[in-house]
Amino acid sequence: MKYVFGSDIGGTTVKLGLFDESGELLDKWEIPTDKTDHGANIVGDVCESIKSKMEEKGIASADVIGVGVGAPGAVNEDGVMTGGAVNLGWPVFNLREAMEEKLGGIKVAAGNDANVAAFGEMVKGGGKGYKNVVAVTLGTGVGGGVIIGGKLITGATGAAGEIGHIKVDDVETEKCNCGHTGCLEQFASATGIARLARKRLAKDDKPSVLRSAELLDAKAVFDAVKAGDEVADEVAKEFGRYLGKGLAVVADVVNPEIFVIGGGVSKAGEVLLSYVEPEFKNTAFPPCSGSKFALATLGNDAGIYGCAGMVLSEN
Amino acid sequence: MKYVFGSDIGGTTVKLGLFDESGELLDKWEIPTDKTDHGANIVGDVCESIKSKMEEKGIASADVIGVGVGAPGAVNEDGVMTGGAVNLGWPVFNLREAMEEKLGGIKVAAGNDANVAAFGEMVKGGGKGYKNVVAVTLGTGVGGGVIIGGKLITGATGAAGEIGHIKVDDVETEKCNCGHTGCLEQFASATGIARLARKRLAKDDKPSVLRSAELLDAKAVFDAVKAGDEVADEVAKEFGRYLGKGLAVVADVVNPEIFVIGGGVSKAGEVLLSYVEPEFKNTAFPPCSGSKFALATLGNDAGIYGCAGMVLSEN
């Protein structure tokens, strides 16, 4: 039996997984992310944790096909973090080579965390069975991963799939974290939906359960939608217009078979897709408007599944 | 010596080329496109022309590595014209198989004409030396081709790279040919630039050489720009804003190394890029904003070069 490890490095924890050669998850665990000293210990900690697991399970290096790693920053084809990783304090360096050195020659595949999670959803999640998939993560921000012909697109500097920063509004004046205005992320992320809700409630006095919500977040909005609240419906429609429009552009460029929608916001379920899909179909160039929509199914495990998938697709 | 043929099927003529195994053009010629009978004779005519050339040059079938063909419609990975070809009268059919049958077993590679031309610009034109290229054709419409890792992206239905139909304006009320409003094509194609110029001239009485232009087309606009005409400069700036914004979105999705701008409008030369590049850099997500810009260099031969390139990249 051969094995694969996945390691999804986040700002708080590193999620790790042990997989068999068919990509089935055998074990998963977490270690804290040590951000002291500009994150200088993280790579060593991850590799030590993998080596401990190998010892615990009696797995020899020769039986490890490879280790996949996802990190929160742009990663190019060679495994270089081309802009470092701001959240971890990392400078520009070759993540793949650094891990291979510490793992004594075990092969490593490295990718951007959102891209790797997208890959996980293709191999084992909502996009299973497809080879042309765009995964969309609606979390604090909006991330994405573009998979064409079964391969992740990284782009020139590892920044492909940054669909959260597609400009979808010309009149917005509030700034996005990236410094621009009108980015998809400002309307379709968890924080974006909350912002749309606040703005809508401030507009007039129309009654809504959202006015008494303890926490006016994306969950409150979609819960209210399900309860038939008209104001929440308006907010969801606005969210759907922006996301549908943004994804239409993505379809015009790469014409995927399916969009897989994940991230915290997607916990709203199928109702979310009902606001996005019609807007998408009305805006995409007609020959590009046939893409299917599905919800992501792997949740926080998408990253480790994608890490394993990357290794297995290269072998 | 081995040979490759390229055949770029257009609405008026079919451009053909004979190449050596390194992709150098040895001979090129044209035949008329016979659109009678829903274009039923075109495939046969192209194949006959190739066979005549083989006879003329004494080339045996065994010495032909393959034939590449570009056609004006969506073509999927299997060579199927998924929506037929409206301009030729073609129904949905497998172009690759139809040609292989008539060529007695010589291998055929088929692609959308804009995509194939994009590939030509990568292998021998303005994008030479790069593997992640987006080619943009500014002609009667706006077409595009996306090449990632040296491979053309076709998408689920062969409609990837339809960047002319990216929505770049929310307030436009005139309809695009596709039935939607606000498409990039309405502002950045030859007809789009002429439209912007007409609208600008109608706005007020500001003096401009464009007011006495015999033909108010893209060439007249950029000639006037070069002559220092202020109104033409305003029109070019508006064109640049739209194209820069549209290409910024493309960069957010696929993060290419370089954009190669071709088509009739690009004959304006480097001055055109000076209106597009700054707008692009201001709108793209910063990590995606480093793409270079170049003009296409192959003109009408891009299609046949791309046909040969497709065949050679698969062998």
pLDDT digits (tens, 9 = 90+) for A60-76: 999 999 999 999 988 98
Report pLDDT digits (tens) over B274-284: 999 999 999 99
Percent of chain A clearing pLDDT 70 (strictly above): 100
Taking CA–CA distances from B292, the nearest residue in chain A reads A156
| A177 and A283 share one domain | yes
Together in a domain, B85 and B182: no
Q: Do B156 and A285 touch (CB under 8 A)?
A: no
Tell me the shortest Cα–Cα distance from B176 to chain A, in angstroms.
10
Pair A176, A264 in one domain: yes
> Measured at the alpha carbon of residue A245, what is the angle toward residues A243 and A248, in degrees to the nearest 5?
105
Do B256 and B149 share a structural domain?
Answer: yes
Asked if A82 and A148 sit in the same domain, the reply is no
CA B125 to chain centre: 13
Q: How large is the angle between the packed helices A230-254 and A218-226, nearest 10 degrees?
A: 110
Residues of B in contact with A165 (CB under 8 A): 252, 284-285, 288
* Rounded CA separation B111/A106 (Å): 40
Which residues from B are below 8 Å from A146, CB to CB?
Answer: 253-254
At B26 the pLDDT is 97
The label of the residue with tokens 């220092």 reads B228
- If asked whether residues A258 and A138 sit together in one domain, one would say yes
- Beta carbons of B159 and B118 less than 8 angstroms apart: no
Note whether A69 and A148 are same-domain residues: no
Backbone angles phi, psi at A213, to 5 degrees: -65, 135
Assess whether A174 and A288 both reside in one domain. Answer: yes
Residues B222 and B241: their CA atoms lie apart, in Å, by 15
Q: Are B164 and B146 in contact (CB under 8 A)?
A: no
Q: Which of A183, A253, A288, A292 to mutate to test the interface with B (most CBs of B within 10 A)?
A: A253
Q: Find the CB nearest B245 among A158, A163, A167.
A: A167
CB B132 to CB A146 under 8 A?
no
- Residue A146 tokens, joined: 């573009």
Nearest CB to A254 within list B83, B146, B180: B146
Inter-chain touch B162–A287, beta carbons under 8 Å: yes
Q: Do B157 and A288 lie within an 8 Å CB cutoff?
A: yes
B260/B124 Cα distance (integer angstroms)? 12
Q: Which amino acid is at A205?
A: D
How many structural domains are present in chain B?
A: 2
A192 lies in the same domain as A292: yes
Task: Assign residue B221 the CATH number of its domain.
Answer: 3.30.420.40
pLDDT given at position B53: 98
- What was the pLDDT predicted at A21? 95
Picking from A75, A114, A109, the residue whose alpha carbon sits closest to that of residue A92 is A75
Q: Quickly list DSSP for A100-112.
A: HHHTTT--EEEEE
The reply to whether residue B287 touches residue A252, judged by beta carbons under 8 angstroms, is: no
Query: CA of B77: which chain A residue's CA is closest?
Result: A149
**Residue-by-residue pLDDT tens, chain B, 315 positions:** 999 999 999 989 999 999 999 999 999 999 999 999 999 999 999 999 999 999 999 999 999 999 999 999 889 889 999 989 988 999 999 999 999 999 998 999 999 998 999 999 999 999 999 999 999 999 888 989 999 989 889 888 888 999 999 999 999 999 998 899 999 999 999 999 999 999 999 999 999 999 999 999 999 999 999 999 999 999 999 999 999 999 999 999 999 999 999 999 999 999 999 999 999 999 999 989 999 999 999 999 999 999 999 999 887
Residues of B in contact with A188 (CB under 8 A): none
Residue B286, judged by CB atoms within 10 A of its CB (0-12, 13-18, 19+), counts as middle
A309 Cβ contact partners less than 8 Å away, ≥ 6 residues apart: A23, A68, A119, A120, A122, A123, A124
Residues of B in contact with A180 (CB under 8 A): 283, 285
Distance from CA of A9 to the nearest CA of B (A): 20
Range of the domain at B221: 129-296
pLDDT of B201 reads 97
The band of A24, judged by pLDDT with boundaries at 50, 70 and 90, is: very high
B173: closest CA of chain A, how far (Å): 14
Regarding whether A138 and A116 lie in a shared domain, the answer is no
Check: CB of residue B295 under 8 Å from CB of residue B261: yes
Q: Please tell me the predicted confidence (pLDDT) of residue A168.
A: 96
CB A246 within 8 A of CB A167: no
Contact between B256 and A288 using a beta-carbon 8 Å cutoff: no
B254/A82 CB distance under 8 A? no
B144 and B292 share a domain? yes
* Whole-number pLDDT of residue A314: 80
Q: What is the pLDDT of residue B66?
A: 97
State the best of A249, A289, A292 to mutate against chain B, taking most chain B CBs within 10 Å: A249
| pTM exceeds cut of 0.80 | yes
Distance from CA of A37 to the nearest CA of B (A): 25
Q: What is the pLDDT of residue A226?
A: 97
From B159, B169, B252, residue closest to A288, measured CB to CB = B159
d(CA B9, CA B31): 10
* Residues B259 and B276 placed together within one structural domain of the fold: yes
Say whether B257 and A156 touch across the interface (CB within 8 A).
yes
User: What are the chain B neighbours of A166 within 8 Å (beta carbons)?
Assistant: 249, 252-253
Q: With beta carbons less than 8 A apart as the criterion, state whether A112 and A293 touch.
A: no
Pairwise CA distance, residues A225 & A270, whole Å = 12
Computed over every residue of chain A, the mean pLDDT equals 95
